[in-house]
């Protein structure tokens, strides 16, 4: 089928030239399949869709209550697909070129306070058996490095087995970066590794020791730790730990460029979502040290 062939060629391009991860490719396929179904219901195909059909599709997503960010992601998938068809001469135009993406509000990353991180560590320290070892190693490594959950779960069983102070990570798009390691993270990994069955391939193994733990499995462990720590489980996830790593580093003086390297962001614009932390820190700095701020405080006291 011609349409399927074009989709496969596009996805192969993403994998080969951009180093797109399996989950990213799956997301693109899901988005394209969704629009293909919408086109078919309207008597069209992906290859002959026009601007009106694209606009109708986005309107249907909004009417169904899909979040603006999700709508924008689907439109981005369509844009890239149609630009691919345009470059390959399959189409003479791009039906998405005049389509406006849904307006996105400012989305600040959710993160935990440092005291709440301490609560999680304290709770994990008293969980017995394999669950406890997995929880402690996961927390220590995530909070020390800011790894994405996919990067964490793909760590081989031998990871963190040396005295090296850093770890080389291959992240999104095949980009490599170096992340720091703490002694606590290495010790937690060693404790976990010491209880691995023979033949275990990953540091965080699944039920099948030759496979990595699933994202869902690791997220469930964190939810259990959150409950034991007296925190709302909905607030604790691997991604929230990554945000905590970034936010707490900034709060203690790190700069955005260094944070970009540690998080593995291709564009510093992605890292700038954390500028609210910088703004709060700078405001406190001004309030504490600027002469006008001190004078204002004195004046308020005098008025009182």
CB atoms within 10 A of CB 82: 22
CB atoms within 10 A of CB 276: 14
Q: Which contiguous run of DSSP H or E holds residue 77? A: helix 68-87
> Is residue 67 pLDDT above 50, yes or no?
yes
Q: Is residue 281 annotated as a catalytic residue, yes or no? A: no
Dist CA 43 CA 49 (whole Å): 10
Give the mean pLDDT of 105-117: 75
The one catalytic residue in 136, 148, 243, 248 is 148
More confident residue, 7 or 266: 7
Dist CA 213 CA 154 (whole Å): 9
Q: Is residue 110 annotated as a catalytic residue, yes or no? A: no
Split at pLDDT 50, 70, 90, the class of 108 is low
pTM over 0.75: no
Give the mean pLDDT of 158-186: 85
Query: How many Å separate Cα 163 from the centre of its chain?
Result: 28
> For the chain, which domains are there?
2-87 (1.10.150), 114-252 (1.10.443.10)
Dist CA 221 CA 237 (whole Å): 9
Q: Is residue 235 annotated as a catalytic residue, yes or no? A: no
> Is residue 212 pLDDT above 90, yes or no?
yes
The answer to which of 182-186, 212-216, 274-278 has the lowest mean pLDDT is 274-278
> Is residue 173 pLDDT above 80, yes or no?
no
Q: Where would I find the H helices in 88-205?
A: 114-125, 129-145, 149-153, 183-194
The one catalytic residue in 18, 110, 172, 187 is 172
> Is residue 287 pLDDT above 80, yes or no?
no
CB atoms within 10 A of CB 271: 19
Burial, 29: exposed, middle or buried (Cβ in 10 Å; 0-12, 13-18, 19+)? middle
The one catalytic residue in 133, 136, 243, 265 is 265
Give the mean pLDDT of 50-66: 90
- The pLDDT assigned to 303 comes to 52
Q: Is residue 274 annotated as a catalytic residue, yes or no? A: yes
Identify whether the C-beta of residue 112 lies closer than 8 Å to the C-beta of residue 251.
Answer: no
Split at pLDDT 50, 70, 90, the class of 298 is very low
- Both tokens assigned to 197: 């069955």
Dist CA 179 CA 157 (whole Å): 18
Q: Is residue 223 annotated as a catalytic residue, yes or no? A: no
Give the mean pLDDT of 160-185: 85
- Both tokens assigned to 217: 């499995």
- The pLDDT assigned to 188 comes to 94
Q: Which contiguous run of DSSP H or E holds residue 280? A: helix 275-289
């Amino acid at each position: 089928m011609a349409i399927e062939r074009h989709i496969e060629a596009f996805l192969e391009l993403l994998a080969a030239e951009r180093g797109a991860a399996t989950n990213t490719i799956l997301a693109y396929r899901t988005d394209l399949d969704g629009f293909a179904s919408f086109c078919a219901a309207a008597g069209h195909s992906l290859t002959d869709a026009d601007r009106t059909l694209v606009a109708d599709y986005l309107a249907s997503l909004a009417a169904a209550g899909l979040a603006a960010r999700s709508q924008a992601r689907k439109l981005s998938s369509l844009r890239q697909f149609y630009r691919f068809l345009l470059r390959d001469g399959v189409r003479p135009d791009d039906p998405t070129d005049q389509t406006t993406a849904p307006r996105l509000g400012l989305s600040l990353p959710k993160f935990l306070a440092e005291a709440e991180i301490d609560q999680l560590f304290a709770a994990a320290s008293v969980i017995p058996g394999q669950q406890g070892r997995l929880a402690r190693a996961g927390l220590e490594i995530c909070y020390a490095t800011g790894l994405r959950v996919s990067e964490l779960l793909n760590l081989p069983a031998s990871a963190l087995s040396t005295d090296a102070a850093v770890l080389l990570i291959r992240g999104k798009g095949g980009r490599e970066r170096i992340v720091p390691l703490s002694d606590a993270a290495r010790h937690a990994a060693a404790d976990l590794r010491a209880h691995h069955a023979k033949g275990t391939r990953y540091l965080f193994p699944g039920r099948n020791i030759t496979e990595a733990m699933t994202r869902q499995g690791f997220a469930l462990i964190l939810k259990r730790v959150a409950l034991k720590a007296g925190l709302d489980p909905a607030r604790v996830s691997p991604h929230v730990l990554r945000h905590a790593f970034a936010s707490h580093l900034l709060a203690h003086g790190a700069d955005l460029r260094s944070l970009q390297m540690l998080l593995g962001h291709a564009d510093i614009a992605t890292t700038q979502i954390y500028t609210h932390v910088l703004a709060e820190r700078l405001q406190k700095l001004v309030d504490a040290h600027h002469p006008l701020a001190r004078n204002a405080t004195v004046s308020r006291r005098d008025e009182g």
